[in-house]
Structure 1
Amino acid sequence: MHEGPRLAACRAVLLLVLLWLAAAAHAVEVVDDRGRRIEITRPPQRIVSLMPSLTETVCALGACRRLVGVDDYSNWPPSVNALPHVGGLEDARVESIVALQPDLVLAPTSSRVLPRLQTLGLPVLALEPRMLRDVRRVLQVLGPVLEAGDPDAVWQAINREVQVAARKMPPALRGTRVYVEVGSTPYAASESSFIGELLVRLGAENIVPGGLGPFPKLNPEFVVRADPQVIIVGRGDAPGLGTRPGWQHIDALRRGRVCAIDADQMNVLMRAGPRLGEAAHLLVDCIEGRLGDGGRGR
């Protein structure tokens, strides 16, 4: 007479136990780039990304549809352009982020809004890839967190494309002295940046030593003394190179070996993420003179 209610109660308890076991089976604990231990109890379904390379990594792992908002500079893959954009590194709009009701916020460690997001109780994972090894590490962190994609397969694809680009480099151009300008002040990519690491793997020589920091601000005279054979620069900054004091004597300008790349190409080059293989091919094309206008910077 009492078997029905008892059986129902047992089933309810069993269901609760199974749900708990399922949650426990997914629960992962990761350490972010601030050294904080973050426990993720279930795969996030509403993600806000505040860094383009993190946005691209989520998508490379097959979780693009879980993004509900991105920073103002995330524009790849094209589908993210339709998402709400919530500001940049210095001016992320906290109210807009909260309104999206994320169950995970991915942000660089340098983001100014991190403390406020945490105060509001939002789950935040701070990751900021700066070197090639960081790109692999971020993939390996996000793969289990998202329970999506194969991080090792994504990394192997990146690494394979870099190797293909390196084999494409003509032996005669190995050792070419290269200057990569990332800002017109000028700021440059040094040997200790991920761009510098790519140049090493391609067999080129970066004129900016790593001891100056990954992306140091340079005295323009430094570049004149280093006399690069190839200059890689944003298309908008290329016309003014020849007007900088002494730069008309730089080998790259005298020989017309200035690779002026457009905004989309600069995005590929400047993001430590899953498109680094494409960035390696871009660098080789610039060094070979097959990309950019090859002008003399004036």
Structure 2
Amino acid sequence: MRERRAFAALIAAFLFLLAGTARAVEVIDDRGARVDISRPPQRIVSLMPALTETVCALGACGRLVGVDDYSNWPAAVNALPRVGGLEDARVEAIVALRPDLVLAPASSRALPRLQALGLTVLVLEPRTLRDVRRVLQALGPVLGVGDPEEVWLRINRDVQQAALRLPAERRGTRVYVEVSSTPYAASEGSFIGELLVRLGAENIVPASLGPFPKLNPEFVVRADPQVIIVARNDAASLRTRPGWSRIAALRTGQVCALDQAHIDVVMRAGPRLGEGAQLLVDCLEGKLQQGSPGR
């Protein structure tokens, strides 16, 4: 009997150790760095809205203790401390939150200081649809909750439903998507460009220029898009740009003016991509034209 109890205790101890080992996760992040996560993090700081939304989509919103200045979805994150943005992350404020994991994009200027202070930093920056799936697959095991594949399948399903909404006569429409009035654009190689392809539209900016290239305004004039998608605040000034009054989209009034809430959905490579696809279809159908009240 004593031997049986000793054996049972040994088995229990082995299973306990095995469970502890199973919780450890190793991730190769966007720096190519190996990040070892010994147990699911309980105090997370996110420095990118798309990463914040992904954490919440996987069911770990309650573990966020701080977010960047622009994270605003879901509504629960609006009550969290703000720690700056890509250019001005407040490292002292991040440290004060005692995070056991910091999620940051590769473009964050705070990365060297965060690493020097010994914080566990996981660098992820989704720019394409493949990246969105990759980030989900990376964060699922790290968080130890949620089903990354289920979230991805939902995104795919919603995008497909959006594509079915687009009338046949609008397929092949030439589109220009401006992400900044500099102007920076979303090319075919960005997640926005990939969504447009799936919807059946044609992006005038080739992938060869990079995901979000800075353009010579004359490039847009020569490409002559039939629909322009732009922030509502910038829509009125398009005609003042040299030569732009000749563009088909401006001549026919096909300027889709997105308010800030729409921009937050369309411009973030995260779990709301399906909703973003629906908004892009609204743009292609002329439902969000300049001066209209919006969706």
Q: Which TM-score tier does this pair reach, normalised by the shorter chain?
A: over 0.9
Specify which of 99, 114, 117 is matched with residue 120 of structure 1. Answer: 117
Distance 1:141 1:64 in 2: 16
- Map Cα deviations across residues 163-203 of structure 1 (whole Å, 9 max, x no partner): 00111111001000001011111111111111110110011
Distance 1:155 1:55 in 2: 16
Distance 1:269 1:292 in 2: 16
Q: Partner residue of 1:135?
A: 132
Q: 1:95 to 1:17 in 2, by over 3 A?
A: farther
Distance 1:50 1:219 in 2: 31
2:100–2:120 CA contact under 8 A, matched in 1: yes
1:102 aligns with 2:99: yes
Distance 1:174 1:250 in 2: 19
Distance 1:277 1:172 in 2: 22
Structure 1 residue 16: Cα displacement? 7.4
Structure 1 residue 293: Cα displacement? 2.8
Q: Partner residue of 2:208?
A: 211
Distance 2:176 2:214 in 1: 13
Q: Partner residue of 2:180?
A: 183
1:129–1:135 CA contact under 8 A, matched in 2: yes
1:74 aligns with 2:71: yes
Corresponding residue SS for 1:192? coil
Distance 2:175 2:67 in 1: 33
- Map Cα deviations across residues 130-176 of structure 1 (whole Å, 9 max, x no partner): 10001001101100110010000000000000000111111001000
1:256–1:294 CA contact under 8 A, matched in 2: no
Instruction: For 2:154, give the aligned amino acid.
Output: A
Q: Partner residue of 2:55?
A: 58
Tell which deviates more after alignment, 112-121 or 164-173: 112-121
Residues matched between the structures, number: 287
- Map Cα deviations across residues 248-289 of structure 1 (whole Å, 9 max, x no partner): 111111111111010111111111110111111111100100
- Map Cα deviations across residues 22-69 of structure 1 (whole Å, 9 max, x no partner): 321211111111111111111100000011000000000000000000
Distance 1:149 1:261 in 2: 32
Distance 2:291 2:173 in 1: 16
Distance 1:180 1:165 in 2: 18
Q: Partner residue of 1:242?
A: 239
Corresponding residue SS for 1:236? helix
Instruction: For 2:242, give the aligned amino acid.
Output: P
Structure 1 residue 292: Cα displacement? 3.3
Distance 2:51 2:73 in 1: 11
Distance 2:14 2:98 in 1: 28
Corresponding residue SS for 1:215? coil
Instruction: For 1:259, give the aligned amino acid.
Output: C
Distance 1:238 1:31 in 2: 41
Distance 1:246 1:294 in 2: 22
Specify which of 46, 65, 87 is matched with residue 90 of structure 1. Answer: 87
Distance 1:216 1:37 in 2: 30
Q: Partner residue of 1:269?
A: 266
Instruction: For 1:169, give the aligned amino acid.
Output: L
Instruction: For 1:251, give the aligned amino acid.
Output: A
2:186–2:192 CA contact under 8 A, matched in 1: yes
Instruction: For 1:77, give the aligned amino acid.
Output: P
Corresponding residue SS for 1:180? strand
Instruction: Structure 2: give runs of 5+ residues left out of the alignment.
Output: none
Instruction: Structure 1: give runs of 5+ residues left out of the alignment.
Output: 1-6
Structure 1 residue 76: Cα displacement? 0.7
Q: Which structure is larger by alpha-carbon Rg, 1 or 2?
A: 1
Distance 1:63 1:89 in 2: 23
Structure 1 residue 19: Cα displacement? 5.3
After TM superposition, the score normalised by the length of structure 2 is 0.93
Structure 1 residue 126: Cα displacement? 0.6
Distance 2:256 2:90 in 1: 36
Specify which of 284, 288, 293 is matched with residue 281 of structure 2. Answer: 284
After TM superposition, the score normalised by the length of structure 1 is 0.92
